[in-house]
Amino acid sequence: PALKRLYLEVPALKRLYLEVPALKRLYLATAALTRLCIASRKGRLVEVWPLARPGTPDRGLAQGQTRTWISKALEGLTKILLCKTKHRKVVLNMQPNITEIAERIRALREIMEISPAEMARTTGVSEEEYTTLEAGEKDFSFTFLFNCAERFGVDMIEILTGENPHLSGYCMVRKGTGLPIKRRQGFKYEHLAATFRDKISEPFLVTAPYIAEEQENPIALSVHEGQEFDYILSGSLKFVYGDHAEILQAGDSVYYDSGKGHGMIAVGGEDCVFISVVMRRAD
């Protein structure tokens, strides 16, 4: 419980977990620092550096252990800072790596002490499928990533890139420079506000490819809490919401509760391009 509280109360730790590729080093360093903050078995947080004042008792921490933990923490944090400096130039306009995304998801789940079974329920997949996804052996759907971000309380961009969005006034995205996310059945997403922090919605430029083989098959339905707005720019889109189906053309739009099953495919023999704005549920 103390580790979980510390993680939730110190945003810097959360950012470090996501930004640094060397997750194993980071885990060891953060765990060492956490031990320095635990005063008793009840998990009461105390002064981080108990050896700072001569004669101060270790309050339950063996002095030798404390020195070892401090040494490990400083060594680990030094490596972290070097790693962050070395890789400071990060280009968001790159295809996020599946393995790195999976590592971030696993690290967040473990530090928040969430079981794979609970995450499977949260993301709407079986526990077996969740384990496969977390191992990086299968690509992620947008819905899966969105639900993970909501459960962890982080921006989806942090899971995708390891970078913490920093702009607060406005962010401008030039044509073709959105953060590319190629997911589910060839759907291509371009995030149009990847660098804006504290977003209340996720805006995308989406390209749904026309696939002849799926025209006669049932459309896969997704569920994620909140609301969604889709505006068709070109092509035709078959939109399914529960038992209802609609064909949307260029200039048409649909606004709906995304907490109920919904899905879509391109129809009419060509790809469909549309703007999608995914909004979080109101707290």
Model confidence over 122-156: pLDDT tens digits?
998 899 999 999 998 888 888 888 889 889 888 88
Please name the helix (run of DSSP H) or strand (run of DSSP E) that holds residue 179, with its range, or none.
strand 179-183
Alpha helices in 39-194 (DSSP H): 63-86, 98-111, 116-123, 127-134, 142-152, 156-161
Residue 183 or 274, more confident: 274
**Cα(35)–Cα(27) distance, rounded to whole angstroms?**
12
pLDDT confidence tier of residue 159, bands split at 50, 70 and 90: confident
Select from 193, 265, 275, 261 the least CA-distant residue to 230: 275
**Cα(190)–Cα(182) distance, rounded to whole angstroms?**
8
Residue 41 or 4, more confident: 4
pTM above 0.95, yes or no: no
The DSSP call for residue 137 is S
Encoded amino acid at 40, one letter: S
pLDDT of 153: 85
Strand-pair partners of 246 = 239
What is the torsion angle, in degrees rounded to the nearest 10, for the CA atoms of residue 186, residue 190, residue 195 and residue 196? -110
Q: What is the pLDDT of residues 62-108, one digit of tens each?
A: 445 545 555 555 555 555 544 444 444 334 434 567 888 888 899 88
pLDDT of 34: 52
Burial class (CB in 10 A: 0-12, 13-18, 19+), 41: exposed
Q: What is the pLDDT of residues 45-71, one digit of tens each?
A: 333 333 333 444 444 444 455 455 555
Give me the chain's average pLDDT, please: 76
